Structure 1
């Protein structure tokens, strides 16, 4: 994609369809060292996410680990290790 003289970029239809975006939809960008992240702005909801730290702080409260510790989670993901001595 190229940026026009007016600073515009056309968003591919596949992306617009996947995000449920149409004429008048609002977006925002988060700049990072690696580039930029496009965010769809949901109107009427919470304030838009402006930084990665803002997103991380919001996402932190959405995870329910069900009391699992990090070690429990790793064992659940990888399975029990038969090669370790159960002492």
Structure 2
């Protein structure tokens, strides 16, 4: 990432998706005991897991293979 003149960087989409960060989300940067800086959501909410997202979606008509593909995120 490159820091622009205003000190801003773009958070990669994969990281935003992992943390559930969307427009308007508040984030914090914290320094770990090992000196690394960690990005976290300031509201403390955790995004739903891929399993929780699929809860209730395996209705009638899906085969076992289709259900497994949904659960694996394929």
Normalization by structure 2: what TM-score? Answer: 0.50
The TM-score, its normalising length taken from structure 1, stands at 0.43
Greater RCO (CA < 8 Å, at least 6 residues apart): 2
Bigger Rg, structure 1 or 2: 1
